Amino acid sequence: MYSRDDKVEAAGVNRELAVGKSQIVDTSTIRKSLSNATKDGVFYSIMVHFGEAFVQLFALFLKATNTQIGLITALPQLIGTSCNALSVEVVDRLKKRKLISVVSASLQGIVWLPMCLSVFLPSGVAIYVLLVSMIVYVSAFNFSVPPYLSMLGDLVPADERGKYFGRRSMLTIVISLPTFFIAGYILDIWKLAGYEYLGFLSIFAVAFLARTVSVVYINSIYEPPYIVQEKDRFSLWDFIRRYPDSNFARFTFYTAIIRMCACTAGPYFAIYMMRDLKFSYIEFVVVTIVAEITRAVAMPYWGKLSDRIGNKMIIKFTGIGVSIVPFVWLIYPSIWCVLIAEAYSGIVWSGFELATGNFLFDSVTPQKRARCSAYYNLLNGYGVFVGAIVGGLLADKLPSSVSLLGNRIDLLSSLQIIIFGSGILRLVSSVLLISTFKEPRSNIIPIGAKDLFLHWIRIKHNSNLE
């Protein structure tokens, strides 16, 4: 394993990758591997937008309750995230990161086959097939994450991670937009024809094919040697116990809390649109595509910015930003308000996700990256589980009306209370916890949150950030 100072050629910079005492990997191999990683991301995104993005709507089609939908979201996270820690142990023993990534990704793709068959089953049975399929799907994904991120982190130079991952994310988003629209169009066509179940069969079949192609590209990525020493091994309990002294542990706790708060409402936005706002599949897709477009436009900006000012300030800035998203959703129950909310959501969430991902790479050594990535995803997964379960249970228990100053206000559903509460929880958590961790990089341009905001909205120009 090589250190962060080892040289790589990527994004047009003349560098080489030293992977051993006598072996030098030529720059074309690195370029090709990063290109294949990007192509993998593209086809993975197609799978997500033909399959995963419609899982909750498929559950709604099967007449699942809010609690069941919450369970379909939460239980796979609870079981699946436990695979992160198991994956690290397997990686340390086998030292074959690409093999583990390929096998896990293949299993994730195969899951769409029983999903295709489930459309012919009675709804009561199909709901449980969906639940089991999602458990395997999320487990396979989580098993692949530590070795895949560890391998990719070794290939991308530290000073260009923001640029590379920003461009990679933008490309995957741009290419996935038409595929997502096509998926929604397919569902609407079959629904109008009276065969909605065949629409789900069609899009799940495409999801299977897309993941298959993705696996081919993963298998084409160059895998640097993986060397881990006993001193680099530590348990989950050791990781948690280091919270007072570990900057990365405190950062992980912060992100887990934010995701828990977000997921009290996150799994139910699709239900809110389709059931309460009466959206068609195409309207649902258009709203989601708007978020993807703004995400694609903003991602390169956040990537370049993170290379200059570090990731902590972006996390602080966008952490407040994502807290505002639920309130925008509730301004007025119309597609126009939802479009505005999702356009804004795409911008702030893209910055938050990119910065938190890069923070992980910057905070840990290559030897500990797989293990730290596993524990990070494990704790964040637990946050998603708790948030989704609490949101689902409350959605079935809370009233669909509230009393304000003696006046009764009828709501579209209890989900509006859940959405509002999610915004409050995000805001309070971000304000209280953002100061608990620090920027791990030293070679950054210092800037305050106020100046960043003024620059972001183009009121006060800062040439150092361009």
Tens of pLDDT along the chain (466 residues)?
Answer: 333 333 333 333 333 444 444 355 677 888 899 999 999 999 999 999 999 999 999 999 999 888 888 889 889 988 888 887 788 888 888 889 999 999 999 999 999 999 999 999 999 999 999 999 999 999 999 899 889 988 888 888 777 777 788 788 878 878 888 898 899 999 999 999 999 999 999 999 999 999 999 999 999 999 888 776 666 677 778 888 888 888 999 999 999 999 999 999 988 898 899 889 999 999 998 998 899 889 888 888 888 888 888 889 899 989 999 999 999 999 988 899 999 999 999 999 999 999 998 898 888 887 787 788 888 888 998 899 899 889 988 888 888 777 777 778 788 888 999 999 999 999 999 999 999 999 888 777 766 666 666 666 654 455 555 5
- 316 with 348: CB under 8 angstroms? no
Instruction: Give the fold, CATH level 3, of 17-465.
Output: Growth Hormone; Chain: A; (1.20.1250)
Q: Which residues contact 411 (CB under 8 A, 6 or more apart)?
A: 400, 401, 402, 417
Both structure tokens of 291: 């978020």
339/328 Cα distance (integer angstroms):
10
- 428 with 254: CB under 8 angstroms? no
Give the pLDDT score at 189.
Answer: 95
Q: Which residues contact 458 (CB under 8 A, 6 or more apart)?
A: none
- 73 with 388: CB under 8 angstroms? yes
Alpha-carbon distance values, 277 to 218, 328, 333, 342 (Å): 40, 15, 7, 15
Give the pLDDT score at 450.
Answer: 66
- 206 with 183: CB under 8 angstroms? yes
155/149 Cα distance (integer angstroms):
10
Give the pLDDT score at 91.
Answer: 85
Both structure tokens of 440: 């791990």
Give the pLDDT score at 20.
Answer: 42
Give the pLDDT score at 22.
Answer: 39
Alpha-carbon distance values, 466 to 175, 384, 386, 451, 456 (Å): 26, 35, 40, 14, 11
Q: Which residues contact 145 (CB under 8 A, 6 or more apart)?
A: 84, 87, 373, 374, 377
Alpha-carbon distance values, 140 to 105, 107, 133, 448 (Å): 7, 6, 11, 40
Give the pLDDT score at 9.
Answer: 32
Both structure tokens of 110: 């195969």
* Domain extent listing, the chain: 17-465
Give the pLDDT score at 325.
Answer: 96
